[in-house]
Amino acid sequence: MAAPLMVKLSESLGSPEPAVRLILSVLVGYPCALLYRRFFFHQPPTVIHLYHAISGLSLAAFNFGTQLYHSALCVLVQFLMMRLMGRTITTVLASFMFQMVYLLSGYYYTATEEYDIKWTMPQCVLALKLIGLSFDYYDGGQEPSKLNEEQKRSALANVPSLLEVIGFSYFYGGFLVGPQFTLRSYQRLVKGELTDCPGQPPNSVIPAMKRFSLGLLCLVIYAIFSPHYPDSYYLTDEYDAQPFWYRCVFILLWAKVILYKYVSCWVIAEGVCILSGLGYNGLGQNGEHQWDACANMKRLKFLGNKLLSQVTALAFLAIWHGTHSGYLLCFSMEFIIVNVERQAQALVRDSPLLTRLANSPLYPLIYLVQQFIHWLFMGYPLVPFCLFTYDKWLRVYSSIYFCGHIFFFTLYLGIPYLRKVLVPRKERSEKKED
């Protein structure tokens, strides 16, 4: 009954059936959160875990059918590793290796040249969640003095039960597309601690509806404009025949539209977490309640922030997304672009001449140029990310003469020499001492 109905709905919307199932499943998170608030908030933890597990498994079955066994197997193996290996570095390494090998094997055996919504999509979210769980479990056995503040907040003092891990893994607000959150946060949710009014469901309906409205707006914008900026246009003779400036501007506009597809799902899912209470983040500096706990969960922070760790993190993210060459190129370009931006900001800050220029009447013009470059090259790394295979992204980059590569590599190599000219020697020596 459900299958023919979904086929008709997808045909009427002009979207692939898996995409329709996915967006419906993300939206179903809102009634699931309302049911939790109304009927399960005051229930024992076991009942709440069962509710989250059953609702999440139902969504997984609705989207992927019997292929949900992939995620179930990974959750079970993760639990057994923690129980049998204990709080050891071996557990962390074994968890990392198993989850990543399983995920990459899934990518390899299901890979196509198009973006397909299949079981590997939530699996990449789950893999990162379970790897993070192993780190939190390990941190729970360490001396508190050896942990930073974030590790202390996430460390697990007790061994979680299988039902608890299942409820955490399949929580309807984060299983399909994220966001990431820790088991400690989930435990606090189950205990009723993530609320602005102790003992009662949180006053999070309005904050959740704000995120839902924003996500819905992004989804509408994408639905309206995506037919005018399809990925396939890059591979047509018509695109190649356009002037150089047109090809560049098309990348700029296409990137803006394509980002709405991802942002819409993320923001709508974040609203589900806020509605349930998982997004509660305590009081801010101005005394107002914050609901952004799930907005930017950094599960890779254990890698640190140094240059080598940045390379490692971006390399991991490239592999985590998939085996296509486009992912590796995308995150390689991100590394170059981010470092060029940091060098440029430091140059403007340390150079008296550039500082005066930035504060002069020419600033509006400089700002317009800076924004144009920002938006133009923000879409530049997205080309391989969305086209996947080298024959496709190579064709697009060749058509615009690799202008982004030339621009950023020139700056990456040239800014250190500009510092010698524009930054006084005293400033440079003080910078080195710092």
Tell whether the model's pLDDT for residue 376 goes beyond 90: no
CA 394 from centre of chain: 26
Please give the structure tokens belonging to residue 223. 């639905």
Cα separation of the two ends of the chain: 67
Per-residue buried b or exposed e for 249-279, using 16+ beta carbons within 10 Å of the residue's own CB: bbbbebbbbbebbebbbbbbbbbbbbbbbbb
Residue 15: what pLDDT?
80
Q: What is the pLDDT of residues 55-83, one digit of tens each?
A: 999 999 999 999 999 999 999 999 999 99
Q: Which of 7-11, 133-137, 306-310, 420-424 has the highest mean pLDDT?
A: 133-137
- Residue 29's closest CA among 279, 200, 283, 259? 279
For residue 402, give both structure tokens.
């690799």
- Taking only the tens place, the pLDDT of each residue in 114-142 is 778 899 999 999 999 999 999 999 999 99
Q: What is the pLDDT of residue 297?
A: 53
Residue 307 banded pLDDT, cuts 50, 70, 90: low
- Per the model's pLDDT, the better-predicted residue between 7 and 250 turns out to be 250
| Mean pLDDT, residues 100-106 | 96
Burial of 158 (0-12, 13-18, 19+ CB in 10 A): exposed
Q: How confident is the model at residue 2 (pLDDT cuts 50, 70, 90)?
A: low
User: Can you tell me the distance from the alpha carbon of 429 to that of 73, in angstroms, rounded to the nearest whole number?
Assistant: 57
The region of weakest confidence among 225-234, 298-307, 409-418 is: 298-307
Would the pLDDT of 85 be above 90? yes
Of the candidates 114, 388, 376, the one whose C-alpha atom is nearest the C-alpha of residue 254 is: 376
Each residue of 311-364: pLDDT tens digit? 788 888 888 988 889 999 999 998 899 899 889 888 988 888 888 888 888 888
Among candidates 308, 314, 309, 312, which has minimal Cα distance to 335?
A: 314
The pLDDT of residue 305 is 47
Q: Is the pLDDT of residue 298 over 90?
A: no
Q: What angle is formed at CA 138 by the lines to CA 136 and CA 143, rounded to 5 degrees?
A: 100
> Angle 395-401-404 (CA atoms, 0-180°, nearest 5)?
100
- 78 close to 134: Cβ distance less than 8 angstroms: yes
pLDDT for 309: 64
Q: How many CB atoms lie within 10 A of CB 97?
A: 11
Supply the DSSP string of 173-199, one letter for each residue.
TTTTT-----HHHHHHHHTT-S-SSTT
Angle between helices 183-190 and 162-169 (to 10 degrees): 100
CB distance 189 to 174 below 8 Å: no
| 302 pLDDT more than 60 | no
Question: What percent of the chain has a predicted confidence (pLDDT) above 70?
Answer: 94
How far, in Å, CA of 250 to CA of 228, rounded?
A: 10
Lowest mean pLDDT among 149-153, 269-273, 276-280: 149-153
Q: Would you list the domain boundaries of the chain?
A: 2-198, 300-434
Q: Does the pLDDT at position 433 exceed 70? A: no
Per this entry, what is the length of the chain? 434
Say whether pLDDT at 224 is over 50.
Answer: yes
Q: What mean pLDDT do residues 81-89 have?
A: 94
Name the token pair of 300: 């890779």
Query: What is the average pLDDT across 36-60?
Result: 96
Block residue for tokens 């999509």: 121
Using CA atoms, how far residue 6 sits from 185, 198, 366, in Å, is 35, 42, 51
- Beta-carbon contacts of 273 under 8 Å, excluding residues fewer than 6 positions away, are 173, 174, 179, 181, 279, 293, 294
More confident residue, 370 or 21: 21
Q: Give the residue-averaged pLDDT of 9-26.
A: 86
- Cβ-contact 194, 280 below 8 angstroms: yes
Max CA pair span of the chain = 76
